[in-house]
Amino acid sequence: MPDVQEPRTIVADLGRYLEDFTVGDVYEHRPGRTITEADNIQFSLLTMNRHPMHCDHAFAEKSEFGKPLVNSGLTLAMVLGMTVDDVSYKSVANLGWKEIKLVAPVFPGDTIYARSKVLDVRESKKRPTQGIVTTYTEGYKADGTVFVTFERASLVPKRGHGIGD
C-alpha cells in the first residue's frame, strides 16, 4: 500500500521582494485584455470624460481615425493593472510615474498587452527594510504596436519585511 500523505495547503504567492528584481529583466505581463466599446463608454462616464471621440460614432467618423478612440486614461489604467502581479503586488507604495507617453491610438476591439523592464533597484536610504524599484513599461496591441510607455517607481519590501510576512 502506498504511503498516504496529509493534504497540503498551497497559498498563491504573487509579486516580488526587492531581492528578486534584477536590472535588465523584462516581464511579459499576462493575461492580455480585449477592450470593448462598453469598457470605453463606462470608463469615460465614470471619470466624467464626455469627449465625443469616445462615445459618439457620428462625431468620430469625421476625425482622422474614422471611428471612436479608447479613452487613454482607460488604456493607461489597464496597462498599469497588468503590471501589478509582476512588479508591485508586494509593494508598500507606488511612488509615481513619469514620462507617460501616448504614442498610438487604441480602438474598441483591440487586444492589449504589457511588458516591463527593470531599470533600477536600490535600497532605500531612509527605510532599511525596503527599496525602490524603477521600471519602464510598454503597452502594446496584439499586432505589436506600442501605444503607451511610462516609467514607474515602487517602494518594495525586502524578503521577510512585507505586509503580512
How does pLDDT run across 89-146, given as a tens digit for each residue?
999 999 999 999 999 999 999 999 999 999 999 999 999 999 999 999 999 999 999 9
Strands of 40-127, DSSP E: 93-102, 111-123
Phi-psi region of 9 (alpha: psi -120 to 50; beta: other; left: phi over 0): beta
Q: Global pTM?
A: 0.90
Q: Report the pLDDT value the prediction gives residue 41, as an integer from 0 to 100.
A: 95
Chain position carrying cell 498551497 = 10
What is the grid cell recorded at 75?
A: 488604456
pLDDT exceeds cutoff 90 at 1 = no
Cβ neighbors of 48 (< 8 A, separation 6 or more) are: none
pLDDT tens string 29-39: 999 999 999 99
Region 74-84: mean pLDDT is 97
Confidence class of residue 2 from pLDDT cuts 50, 70 and 90?
low
User: Which domains are seen in the chain, by residue range?
Assistant: 18-157 (3.10.129.10)
What is the grid cell recorded at 83?
A: 503590471
Q: Report the pLDDT value the prediction gives residue 12, as an integer from 0 to 100.
A: 79
